Structure 1
Amino acid sequence: MTIQPQSLITIGVLLLALVTVESGGLFLKKVAQGDVPTNDLQKSFFRAGHAHAAVLIVLSVAILSVIDNAGLTGFWEFVARDGVPIAAILMPAGFFLSVIGRDPQRPNRFVALLWAGVVSLTAGLLVAGVGLLSAGIAAL
């Protein structure tokens, strides 16, 4: 199994991005200790943003490790290769940015980033899944 250079580069960037998720963990520790004033909405959105960032980055690495074997090209290759990594940026950004400010009572307009990430995640998973299934079946 050969991994294409663009996949290797993206995996490298994603692994380095996990360092930012790690620093986000330090921020969450400060929130939990009460060192950063937050309300319940902010606490829950910050936790969700942090968790989604980590899980989606790891999922992206897993998909990129095998997607080159799916034989996808053009638009479908882009969606399969980049859908989940894009979601790994958009969804956490939506969680964090939608509750910035002092004592927000509901998410602001940045919550749209969360929903854009949901679309990107769903498309990426569907296209990668179907592409890999098709490649596996064809290889039987």
Structure 2
Amino acid sequence: MLELSDGARLTAAIVLLTVVGIESGGFFLLKVSTGRVPATDFQKSFFRAGHAHAGVLVTLGLLCVVLAEATVLTGFWHWLAATGVLVAAVLLPGGFFFGAMGRDRTRPNGFRVLFPVGAVFLAAGVVTLAVGLFLS
């Protein structure tokens, strides 16, 4: 049986509950694609990208939580390995969804700053986890 720390188990449980939010994003996309919610082509593409990134990164993030338990990492480095991808799973989709908000928008707004910040968390999380796995 896989042994998870209390923190890892709680994090995984919370992240699993976020799937309901991702599911509601899918319902929103259905409304956009059927014309019940007006959106520009730019907004449609950003909404699709945000939804896809959320699903993929949450799945990868759950795997990282579990794999981080198999490392010798401690403190900040363990936190980064376990949750860096999950932070990116909030920031990157947020950049897509919030970046496309606004009536008749055809270009991203100021929320596009979430992309590089999310990318840094994604890269830092997976690299830290890989190093931790190599060291263990």
Query: Which category describes the TM-score, using the shorter chain as reference length?
Result: over 0.9
Shift of 1:4: 0.8
Q: Deviations over 1:46-84 (max 9, x none)?
A: 000000001111111111112111110122112111101
Aligned AA (1:126)? V
Kept in 1, the 8 Å contact 2:67–2:82? The answer is no
Residues 1:76 and 2:77 are matched in the alignment: yes
- List aligned pairs for 1:33-112, cutoff 5 A: 33-112=34-113
Would the aligned equivalents of 2:71 and 2:135 in 1 still touch at CA under 8 Å? yes
1:110 Cα offset (Å): 0.3
Which amino acid in the other structure matches residue 60 of structure 2?
Answer: L
* CA–CA distance in structure 2, aligned partners of residues 63 and 117 of structure 1: 16
Alignment-derived partner of residue 114 in structure 2: 113
Matched AA of 2:107? R
Q: Distance in 2 between matches of 1:8 and 1:25?
A: 26
> Tell me, which stretches of 5 or more residues in structure 1 are unaligned?
136-140
Which residue is 1:13 aligned to? 14
Q: Distance in 2 between matches of 1:105 and 1:55?
A: 25
Identity of aligned residues (%): 46
Segments of 4+ moved more than 2 angstroms: none
Question: Structure 2: which 5+ residue stretches go unaligned?
Answer: none
8 Å Cα contact 2:88/2:121 also seen in 1: yes
> Conserved in 1, the CA contact under 8 Å of 2:83 and 2:125?
yes
Matched residue, 2:28: 27
User: Structure 2-normalised TM-score?
Assistant: 0.96
Q: Given the two structures, how large is their TM-score scaled by the length of structure 1?
A: 0.93
* Per-residue Cα deviation, 1:114-133 (whole angstroms, up to 9, x for no partner): 22111100100000011112
Using the alignment, how far apart are the partners of 2:3 and 2:130 within structure 1? 19
In the alignment, structure 1 residue 128 sits paired with structure 2 residue 122 = no
Using the alignment, how far apart are the partners of 2:19 and 2:127 within structure 1?
24
Matching residue's letter, 1:39 = T
**CA–CA distance in structure 1, aligned partners of residues 121 and 67 of structure 2:** 19
Q: How many residues align?
A: 135
